[in-house]
């Protein structure tokens, strides 16, 4: 990020809660290039790599056709049957979201489970690491809530195992955030604010804005064994607010930021500004 962009964010920060945040966040201050990927037609494939590419590039089905009539999903199933990690992940997400296929959490759970059970720790694939990690997180999420009318029951211990594996072995920011929330809420584990703050910091450093917001709130207000550090908390809340682009879904982040800014004094803001500038320089 250029120095001028940093100064713009710094100036906005000092203004406080009345900031009109750019629609694209900090990156929008300098402009970004948009790369449009071409969609390729899907045909009958024997090679699993070609089948996977077809499924990934085919776009999102409109849902008006039946599942079996969708060539993209035929291609993905073709690859998934041969153990292709990308295909298993794509199908798991499709069933979880009900995109192009009927919503079916149990099928999604089964696809994600295949990814996890087939992962070989002794010969990890760099290409597949992010997918495998996301599968651990997905299984952990199902472990917290369970799946209605199925064999998958709420199991916090299982969720903890999934999140901890992804957070520790893969450094997955989503897993680190979810693990921190378990420590904060005492869901299947003893409450521990210090452990929560530790995992939130790891995720926040990776740019996970929900973790930034939660960590910022903890530091600004102080929480049990976590001593307050108002300026540092304001810095994390500012970064989180900048990334909160969905005014409905991310309203809780916006509210935390507004509340902190309303009660911050000039010293809090100026010290936070110094932290913010240093953070942005270290990231660029």
Q: Is 162 helix (H, G, I), strand (E, B) or coil?
A: helix
Q: What is the pLDDT of residues 99-131, one digit of tens each?
A: 888 999 999 999 999 999 998 887 666 778 999
Question: Which residue is it, tokens 């100026």?
Answer: 270
Residue 18: Cβ within 10 Å count: 8
- The whole-angstrom separation of Cα 268 and Cα 245 is 25
User: What is the average per-residue pLDDT within 251-274?
Assistant: 95
The burial of 186, by beta-carbon neighbours within 10 Å (0-12 exposed, 13-18 middle, 19 or more buried), is given as exposed
- Count CB-CB contacts under 10 A for residue 218: 24
Measure Cα distances from 69 to 61, 64, 75 in Å. 11, 10, 11
Q: What is the pLDDT of residue 8?
A: 55
Contacts of 95 (CB under 8 A, 6+ apart): 101, 102, 103, 104, 105, 107, 108, 111
Q: Note the pLDDT tens digit of each residue in 223-255.
A: 878 999 999 999 999 999 999 988 889 999 999
| Range scoring the smallest mean pLDDT among 5-14, 245-254, 270-279 | 5-14
Percent of the chain with pLDDT over 90: 62
Is residue 76 pLDDT above 60, yes or no? yes
pLDDT of residue 21 exceeding 80, the answer is no
Q: What is d(CA 284, CA 279) in angstroms, rounded to the nearest whole number?
A: 9
Least confident of 60-74, 177-191, 218-232: 60-74
The band of 12, judged by pLDDT with boundaries at 50, 70 and 90, is: low
Write down the pLDDT at residue 132.
95
The pLDDT score that the predictor gives to residue 216 is 97
Give pTM, 2 decimals: 0.76
How much is the CA Rg of the chain, to the nearest whole Å? 22
φ/ψ of residue 261, rounded to 5:
-65, -35
């Amino acid at each position: 990020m250029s120095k001028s962009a940093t100064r713009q964010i710094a100036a906005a920060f000092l203004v406080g809660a009345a900031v009109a945040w750019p629609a694209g966040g900090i990156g929008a201050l300098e402009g970004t290039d948009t790369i449009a990927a071409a969609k390729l037609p899907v045909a009958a494939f024997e090679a699993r790599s070609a089948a996977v590419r077809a499924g990934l590039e085919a776009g999102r089905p409109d849902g008006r056709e039946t599942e079996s009539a969708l060539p993209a999903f035929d291609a993905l199933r073709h690859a998934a049957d041969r153990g292709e990690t990308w295909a298993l992940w794509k199908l798991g997400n499709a069933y979880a979201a009900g995109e192009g296929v009927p919503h079916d959490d149990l099928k999604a759970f089964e696809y994600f489970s295949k990814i996890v059970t087939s992962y070989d720790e002794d010969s990890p694939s760099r290409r597949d690491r992010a997918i495998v990690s996301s599968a651990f997180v997905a299984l952990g999420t199902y472990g917290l809530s369970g799946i209605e009318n199925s064999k998958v029951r709420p199991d916090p211990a299982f969720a903890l195992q999934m999140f901890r594996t992804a957070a520790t072995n893969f450094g997955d920011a989503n897993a680190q955030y979810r693990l921190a929330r378990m420590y904060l809420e005492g869901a299947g584990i003893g409450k521990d604010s210090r452990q929560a703050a530790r995992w939130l910091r790891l995720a926040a450093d990776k740019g996970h804005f929900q973790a930034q917001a939660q960590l910022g709130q903890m530091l600004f207000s102080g929480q049990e064994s976590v001593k307050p550090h108002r300026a540092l908390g304001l810095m994390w809340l500012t970064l989180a607010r900048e990334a909160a682009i969905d005014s409905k879904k991310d309203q809780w982040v916006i509210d935390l930021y507004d509340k902190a800014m309303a009660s911050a004094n000039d010293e809090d803001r100026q010290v936070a500004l110094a932290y913010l500038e240093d953070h942005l320089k270290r990231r660029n």
